[in-house]
Structure 1
Amino acid sequence: MIRNVAGSVLALAGATAAVWSPFRAWYDGRHGRDYAIGDLFTGITDVKADIAGSILLPLAFAALVTVVGVVLRSRLLVAFAGIVVLGFTILWMVRVGEAEGSLTIDADGTGLGDGLAFAFGGGVLLLIGALVMSGRSRTHRVDRPHRPPHPPEPAGTEATDRTLTYPSPPEPPVEDGPERSQGPDRT
């Protein structure tokens, strides 16, 4: 139970960081919500995206999957959410690197921003949360008394010589009396 609680807290913290990240600067002061999802597949442009069509959408989807995974105590769903967050973050980094020629971090606030760090850290926290969670217990163990192993076969007997016999079911009692029918008369 402790592992599930700790893993859930880590996963929810990662999902929160991932959803918060598009509202922070990702590159050269441009917020993550300004990048369109289509730009990740075709190339980064200077066109500002709608918030519904921005990179916020897959990160919010991952957060929703995380919440469902935590409620169901599913390590697989939480790990999937972490892979989605990291996948879109790394894809964004590749596309911006192609568009800019390189990725930089400058002391004056240009280059990679803290929003990217939130997204990347959130994805990592989601994966760590999935690893820490113990998941659902499939069966409850019941302490059963120890059974000794089967006694050894007596020497000289083979398994084909033995037959299993089962008790036959009890027969119903037979009633004697005038009401009892003897069947048709065969004389």
Structure 2
Amino acid sequence: MLRNALGSLMGLIGAAAAVWSPFRAWYDGRLGRDYSVQELFTATGITDHRATLLGSILLPYLFAAVLTLCAVLLRSRLLMALAGIVVLGFTVLWTVRQGQAVGSLTVGGTAQALGDGLANAYGAGALILLGAAVMRGRPTRSTRPLPPTTPA
């Protein structure tokens, strides 16, 4: 019971951080919600075009938050782990595509550096996965046959 509550809390905090991360700076002061999800899968890669809010990278994170909420309600470790993989997968994919677009990525106080929104996304995905690992999930039902009863 306590493990499920702790894992659920970790997953919900991670989901909230994942949804919040596109509203923070990701690279060179540009917010994560400005990056289109389609740019991650096209040959042109990341461009300077601004995305609509629901066409942005926020969309997979909202999907992961809904998966996390369903996982908490159903006490499903598998759904929670899937939500963490979605968050980390899209974050890693964005990082790779951004690195291809600019040639190199830097972390630090320079003008062109990775922002705290990206760090939030990585931390959120890790926290959701950790929540899935902590959860016990649903209790399994025993498939053992009942002992025979003797008539009285």
TM-score, normalised by the number of residues in structure 1: 0.74
Deviations 1:152-172 (A, max 9, x none): xxxxxxxxxxxxxxxxxxxxx
**1:30 maps to which residue?**
30
- 2:109 equivalent among 107, 110, 118: 107
Considering fraction of residues, name the structure with more helix.
2
Share of identical aligned residues, percent? 62
Deviations 1:57-88 (A, max 9, x none): 00000000000000000000000000000000
**1:12 maps to which residue?**
12
Task: Tell me how far 1:109 sits from its aligned partner.
Answer: 5.3
- Following TM superposition, the consecutive aligned residue runs of length 4 or more in structure 1 with deviations greater than 4 angstroms are none
**2:62 maps to which residue?**
60
TM-score, normalised by the number of residues in structure 2: 0.90
Q: Tell me, yes or no, if structure 1 residue 97 matches structure 2 residue 99.
A: yes
- What is the alpha-carbon distance in structure 1 between the residues aligned to residue 104 and residue 92 of structure 2? 14
With CA pairs under 8 Å and 6+ residues apart, which has the higher RCO, 1 or 2? 2
Partner SS, residue 86 of structure 1: helix
Which consecutive residues of structure 2, in runs of 5 or more, have no partner in the other structure? Answer: 148-152
**1:86 maps to which residue?**
88
Structure index of larger Rg: 1
Partner SS, residue 79 of structure 2: helix
Q: Which amino acid aligns with 1:80?
A: L
Q: Tell me, yes or no, if structure 1 residue 40 matches structure 2 residue 40.
A: yes
**1:128 maps to which residue?**
130
Deviations 1:91-145 (A, max 9, x none): 000000000001112314531000000100000000000000000002279xx99
Which consecutive residues of structure 1, in runs of 5 or more, have no partner in the other structure? Answer: 146-187
RMSD between superposed Cα atoms in Å:
1.7
Partner SS, residue 22 of structure 1: helix
